[in-house]
Amino acid sequence: MKRAALLVVGALAISLICLGISMAADPIKVGVVLPLTGEQAKFGEIEKNSFLMCLEEINKAGGIKGRPIELLIEDDTGKPDVGRSAVEKLISQDKVVVLSGGYSSSVTYAMCAVAQQRKIPFLVTTGSADKITEQGWDYVFRLNPPVSEYPQALESFMKEVAKTQSVAILHENTLFGQSGSKEFAALCETAGVKVLMKEGYEAGAVDFKPLLVKVKAAKPDMVYMISYIMDAALLMRQSKELEFNPKLFVGGGAGFTLPEFAKNAGDAADDVFSADLWSPKVPYPGAQEYFDNYGKKFGSPTEYHGAEAYASMQVLADVLKRAKDLTPAGVREAMLVTDMKTVFGPVKFIAYGKKKQQNQLPTYLVQWQKGTLETVWPKSVATKPYVYPILPWAEKKK
């Protein structure tokens, strides 16, 4: 008897709650899918915070035509089938008008396929496999550049300043590492730079010395490494240990530009170059401000993934403002003619090569100088002059 009463009370409570929700102002629903648990959770969290930070500013400023935006953030746990569950739920139950997010490429691909089939526009924030925008999908837009376009700035630096003759390429065996290293090797080939070796490794290795010894013996002018934070830090620490002195250490973005890299590599990080998409010092409106505000609000620094998320939200707000009607088709129409400036750079979805509805961004070359990351190339946006050639380890100690 008691239990029956309890059940009735519970049911009443739930229906009251539901009633309460339906009576609130009618927000515009936007779905965002990010990895909030599992191995990639760290970056999913930064992106989620950035989305919410931007959302707060938009809604404070009055939202979209008087209506607030509501973000429905779902967790994909880093698995494609779960990511797909999340998107199916957002589309068929929550009836969102537009989707965003997408961190790892495999999950992003699975989600975009659903979005395309169900004709809901999807703005990709991070998933960087080239193929995602090469499917001819007309409901998928991508804010971030694909992985093949990261080393553009490095190319001109190698030609004009370093006059590099030979390179060794080391990469982690991930999508980012494998396709990035292939693109870079092809780029070197056409530029007449000799690729002495190109070798992958399983992320999380303990000891890179056997690999580094081999690279050292090959005597390349430059070492190009595509690695994640901790592998990157270990590679540099062990290069120092082995006193391996090429003229140039260059990272291929990702791990090499994050503050944790410098923290973990210590003085071994000094003078290391890296290709980069974004740093707080890029000449885009609001970039530095975003970086500072994030640090103030969450107590830990943000990085380019966060900027991508913040910019995605800016684009979404802009698109929803311009959309003639708030249906998926209407949002898509508005998205097609996007032309705006975000903290992550100018955004415009264009078709080129095999790609469609892809945003193109300039890339930069950055360098760690005494523990801070400085933009050094192209010269027009440099915050500090580059240090080249770099000193051998033995002389640095003094």
Partner 1 sequence: MKRVYVPLALLIVLILFPLVVTDAYYQHLMILVLLWVAIGSGWNLISGYTGQVLFGAAAFFGVGAYTAALLLSKLDVSAWWGLPLGGLVAVLIAFPFGWICFRLRGPYFALATLALNEIFRHIATIWESLTEGMVGILVMQTFISKIPYYYIALALAAGSVIMIDVVTRSRLGYYFVSIREDQDAAESMGINTVYYKMISLCLSACVIGLAGALYTNYMGFIDPKVVFSLHDISIMAILVGIVGGVSTVYGPAMGAFIMVAIQEVFRSGGFGLLVKLGKATGWPVMATVTKYVSEAHVLSFGLLVIFVILYLPNGVVGDWSTLRKTLLFWKRETA
Partner 2 sequence: MEVFLQTLVAGILKGGLYALIGIGMTLIMGVMGIINLAHGQMMMVAMYITYVFFHYIGLDPYATLLISMPSLFLLGVFIQMFLLNPLMKVESILPENQVLMTVGIGMVLTEIARFIFTSNYLSVKTSYSTAAIHIGGISFSVALMIAFIFACSLTVGLFVFLIKTDLGRSIRAVSQDGEAAEIMGINAEQIKIVTMGLGAALVAAAGSLLLPIYYLFPDIGGPFTRKAFVITILGGLGSTVGAIFGGVALGLAEAFGATYIGMDFEDMIGLILFLLVLIFIPGGFKRLTKV
Cβ atoms within 10 A of the Cβ of 183, count? 18
Residue 199: name its binding partner from partner 2, partner 1, none (Cβ under 5 to 8 Å by kind). partner 2
Residue 322: name its binding partner from partner 1, partner 2, none (Cβ under 5 to 8 Å by kind). none
Residue 91: name its binding partner from partner 1, partner 2, none (Cβ under 5 to 8 Å by kind). partner 1
Residue 260: name its binding partner from partner 1, partner 2, none (Cβ under 5 to 8 Å by kind). partner 2
- Taking alpha carbons only, the member of 243, 282, 308, 296 closest to residue 363 is 282
Residue 229: name its binding partner from partner 1, partner 2, none (Cβ under 5 to 8 Å by kind). partner 2
Q: Which residues bind partner 2 (CB under 8 A)?
A: 38-42, 45, 170, 173, 199-202, 204-211, 213-214, 217, 229-230, 233-234, 237-238, 240-243, 260, 264, 266, 268
Peptide bond into 151 cis (omega under 30): no
Residue 110: name its binding partner from partner 2, partner 1, none (Cβ under 5 to 8 Å by kind). partner 1
Q: Residue 392, by phi and psi: left (phi above 0), alpha (psi -120 to 50) or beta?
A: beta
Region from 158-166, 175-183, 316-324, 326-334 binding partner 1, contact rule CB under 8 A = 175-183
Question: Nearest approach, Cβ of 88 to partner 1 (angstroms)?
Answer: 4
Q: Is 185 in the site for partner 1 (CB under 8 A)?
A: no
Q: Which of 84, 209, 247, 341 binds partner 1 (CB under 8 A)?
A: 84
Tokens of 89: 């739920």
Q: What single-letter DSSP state applies at residue 256?
A: G
What ranges in the chain are assigned the alpha helix state H? 2-23, 41-60, 80-92, 105-118, 152-157, 175-191, 209-218, 229-241, 259-265, 287-298, 304-322, 328-336, 393-396
Q: Which of 6, 11, 12, 16 binds partner 1 (CB under 8 A)?
A: 16
Question: Nearest approach, Cβ of 173 to partner 2 (angstroms)?
Answer: 7
Site for partner 1 in 102-121 (CB under 8 A): 105-106, 109-110, 113, 117-118
Region from 13-21, 260-268, 360-368, 389-397 binding partner 1, contact rule CB under 8 A = 13-21
Amino acid at 252: G
Q: Residue 223, by phi and psi: left (phi above 0), alpha (psi -120 to 50) or beta?
A: beta
Cα separation, 226 vs 275, in Å, equals 10
Residue 86: name its binding partner from partner 1, partner 2, none (Cβ under 5 to 8 Å by kind). partner 1
Question: Which of 40/359 has CB closer to partner 1?
Answer: 40
Q: Which residues contact 391 (CB under 8 A, 6 or more apart)?
A: 271
Q: Which of 27, 68, 80, 301 binds partner 1 (CB under 8 A)?
A: 80
291 in Cβ contact with 327 (< 8 Å): no
Tokens of 147: 């992985």
Give the relative orientation of helices 287-298 and 41-60 as an angle to the nearest 10 degrees: 110
Tokens of 251: 């990272």
Cα separation, 246 vs 219, in Å, equals 7
Residue 80: name its binding partner from partner 1, partner 2, none (Cβ under 5 to 8 Å by kind). partner 1
Q: Is 166 in the site for partner 1 (CB under 8 A)?
A: no
Cα separation, 198 vs 157, in Å, equals 21
Which residues make up the interface to partner 1 (CB under 8 A)? 3, 14, 16-18, 20-21, 36-38, 41, 74-75, 77, 79-82, 84-86, 88-89, 91-93, 105-106, 109-110, 113, 117-118, 129, 131, 135, 173-175, 177-179, 182, 200, 202
